[in-house]
A and B are shown apart, each in its own frame.
Chain A
């Protein structure tokens, strides 16, 4: 196979997005908040559409702010419903995000023709068109694909966030009460994580769509979580799986001529399946000799 610049750009963008999502997703699943990730990835839609409509442009800070606000609003509504209204937690999540997502879809249909956004883009993004959409400066220098730059900025910010907040995130994820006791503001850390998840969702939205972001948020970290017991290896493994997902996903989509984002989600699922099978088999073979004496004692 010869070196294909387009393929390289798409895989690179996919990898960067998978890394941003995976790093944040690791903390989500450690905090048992995977479905909050689902809720946020659906709920940012109306923010994107409205910001798009009012600012009239696809790129730019307006969309990120609009969607970020909606993401945080969604977590606040969920929190309000389950703590103040006393609706059970899973239903609070379900009610909130389906409602916000429905608003988003209705807005897209109402504004159809006025904005360059459609239902397909919402569902699976347009990562395949990345190489066509270039940033060109005034003196005609081509700076490379716009969406790639967005992904680069996103991944830098996520790395900075995780780097600076590593201790806080780790402690609040594993021992919330202890973290509170020694004076960490758990609600601030939580809200900042939700803010980063919302921002990453939006930033990845154009490339992979609102729903498949969830696959990148949850599946590679879940795979890594099964294979290791320490946080740092888990994060590194997540990054590796993110890269492989992007690479193999691209060629799968290429060969069966389908959506790259869909293929990436499918491949990440395959990795998870392999990890599950591996772990269960290992448990079965290692269990017998160790488990016997403790059972006898009991």
Chain B
């Protein structure tokens, strides 16, 4: 708790600096990531983040110390080469893009590891914190780092905002973008540059191994809350910043704890929560809607069976008879019978069921929709009368009152369906 207050009161200028840095880089990663996610190139980010490792090592060899300018430059160069290599190889050979991504990722990372271990053999790589580039250490951010990584992140953010419209267009409708005269190729080059830059800004705080998560997971989570680009973008940024700060706090509070994994844990938590609980697209609400729909179907079927009994001149139906209509669903049927009774749609007389006046209206409607749809299929689509029943079984639960009115009007208010059964109306018996 003490740590918590100390950290979030920002009384320590170092903490304030770390939070500022991680906020900026989370924003830039989430923004760029949203576009790559929507462009279905999420795994490209993974490849680039692994591929910056050899650049970091080369920069270290070259500069002889952990100099942020050299490291950013080195990381940027190998990151850019990997992006270019992926594009070139997948365009000029028969290898599939995902194979190319996996190959480039692992080879670049292998080269990086080779260089890293070589540096470790020669001595002071571990001491100077080169290890931190693997899994990230936000707490080690100092003023000079903040200036380099922070300004780079800021640059990415500004570029994305300036070219927002153009990027949106080339992702959603590249051929239209080309036809209105946008320099698509140059914009794509700019975007790839921003992607590499966004990865580079995160290498010290998050680490090369897990930086991809900050590009992929925030937009994946945000996508479940909205269909509009600017909302997705803002939510992704919000999610990324929250998890970035959470990760920084944990590695501040627990000694020797790398930042990257905790940032990923936080963002994954947000993502899984979104997958399950998000408004319309979440698993839970989909499941709920599906269940509701199935319940409506079952309810409609019970009413329909009672109405059909009525047509055969029996005003009541034995409970057991209804049960037999729905084999294997006895329990469900029993629940719905008692529900319908509570809603005052049916009456129970001992073991016999009877429709109430309001139940009759509803039952008629289901049967009417079924028969109207059968007639419609027979008349307008010229389907044989013995082929229309199954489709009508589905539509009877779906047609809205407005559609019903239109259907009725276009069929000229018919009285009989193709099987010569009467189409029931509200003002009949």
Is the C-beta of B248 less than 8 angstroms from some C-beta in chain A? no
Which residues of B have CB within 8 Å of A106? Answer: 257, 261-262, 265
B215, closest chain A residue (CB): A94
Give the docked Cα–Cα distance between A112 and B257 (Å).
Answer: 11
Q: Which B residues from 65 to 107 make CB contacts under 8 A with A? A: 89, 92-96, 98-103, 105-107
19 pairs across A/B with beta carbons < 8 Å? Answer: A33-B98, A34-B101, A87-B223, A90-B40, A94-B46, A94-B213, A105-B258, A119-B134, A119-B135, A123-B134, A211-B209, A222-B95, A225-B95, A252-B114, A256-B114, A263-B110, A265-B109, A265-B110, A268-B110
Is the C-beta of A219 less than 8 angstroms from some C-beta in chain B? yes
Give the docked Cα–Cα distance between A222 and B262 (Å).
Answer: 34
Which residues of A have CB within 8 Å of B105? Answer: 38, 214
Q: Which A residues from 192 to 239 make CB contacts under 8 A with B? A: 209, 211-212, 214-215, 217-219, 222, 225-226
Give the docked Cα–Cα distance between A87 and B107 (Å).
Answer: 28
Q: Is the CB of A219 within 8 A of B103?
A: yes
Which residues of A have CB within 8 Å of B217? Answer: 91, 94-95, 98-99
Q: Is the CB of A90 within 8 A of B110?
A: no
Contact among A88, A90, A101, A219 with B106 in the assembled complex (CB-CB below 8 Å): A219
Q: Is the CB of A94 within 8 A of B43?
A: yes
A283, closest chain B residue (CB): B92
Which of A48-56, A137-145, A172-180, A272-280 is found at the contact surface with chain B? Answer: A272-280
Given contacts A99-B268, A109-B256, contact A38 B93 (CB under 8 A): no
Given contacts A109-B257, A262-B112, A279-B93, contact A98 B216 (CB under 8 A): yes
Q: Is the CB of A34 within 8 A of B275?
A: no
Q: Which 5 A-B pairs have the closest CB atoms?
A: A265-B110, A269-B107, A262-B114, A262-B113, A215-B106
Prevailing SS type, chain B contact patch: helix
Q: Is the CB of A91 within 8 A of B110?
A: no
Q: Is the CB of A102 within 8 A of B213?
A: yes
Given contacts A102-B265, A256-B114, A269-B107, contact A218 B216 (CB under 8 A): no
Is the C-beta of B283 less than 8 angstroms from some C-beta in chain A? yes
Binding site for B on A (CB under 8 A): 29, 32-35, 37-38, 81, 84-88, 90-91, 93-95, 98-99, 101-103, 105-106, 109, 112, 119, 123-124, 209, 211-212, 214-215, 217-219, 222, 225-226, 252-253, 256-259, 261-266, 268-269, 272, 276, 279-280, 283
Give the docked Cα–Cα distance between A265 and B113 (Å).
Answer: 9
Q: How many residues of B contact A (CB 8 A)?
A: 61
Is the C-beta of B37 less than 8 angstroms from some C-beta in chain A? yes
Q: Which B residues from 106 to 146 make CB contacts under 8 A with A? A: 106-118, 121-122, 131, 134-135
Give the docked Cα–Cα distance between A219 and B99 (Å).
Answer: 8
Interface string of B197-219 (1 = CB under 8 A from A): 00000000000011011001101
B265, closest chain A residue (CB): A102
Query: How many whole Å from B124's CB to the nearest CB in chain A?
Result: 15
Give the docked Cα–Cα distance between A262 and B106 (Å).
Answer: 9
Contact among B100, B111, B121, B258 with A257 in the assembled complex (CB-CB below 8 Å): B121
Give the docked Cα–Cα distance between A259 and B40 (Å).
Answer: 34
Which residues of B have CB within 8 Å of A124? Answer: 113, 117
Give the docked Cα–Cα distance between A261 and B114 (Å).
Answer: 8
Is the C-beta of B306 less than 8 angstroms from some C-beta in chain A? no
B106, closest chain A residue (CB): A215
Q: Is the CB of A218 within 8 A of B106?
A: yes
Give the docked Cα–Cα distance between A192 and B261 (Å).
Answer: 30
Give the docked Cα–Cα distance between A217 and B103 (Å).
Answer: 9
Q: Which B residues from 260 to 279 make CB contacts under 8 A with A? A: 260-262, 264-265, 268, 271, 275
Given contacts A85-B283, A101-B209, contact A222 B271 (CB under 8 A): no
Is the C-beta of B41 less than 8 angstroms from some C-beta in chain A? yes
Interface string of B9-52 (1 = CB under 8 A from A): 00000000000000000000000000001001111011000100
Given contacts A95-B268, A102-B210, A266-B110, contact A34 B42 (CB under 8 A): no
Given contacts A95-B271, A112-B256, A266-B110, contact A32 B89 (CB under 8 A): no
Is the C-beta of B397 less than 8 angstroms from some C-beta in chain A? no
Query: How many whole Å from B192's CB to the nearest CB in chain A?
Result: 17
Is the C-beta of B389 less than 8 angstroms from some C-beta in chain A? no
Given contacts A91-B37, A257-B121, contact A35 B98 (CB under 8 A): yes
A104, closest chain B residue (CB): B261
Which residues of B have CB within 8 Å of A101? Answer: 209-210, 261, 264
Q: Is the CB of B102 within 8 A of A218?
A: yes
Give the docked Cα–Cα distance between A218 and B98 (Å).
Answer: 10
Which residues of B have CB within 8 Å of A215? Answer: 103, 106-107, 109-110
Give the docked Cα–Cα distance between A230 and B107 (Å).
Answer: 25
Q: Is the CB of A211 within 8 A of B106?
A: yes
Which residues of B have CB within 8 Å of A283? Answer: 92
Give the docked Cα–Cα distance between A67 and B170 (Å).
Answer: 42
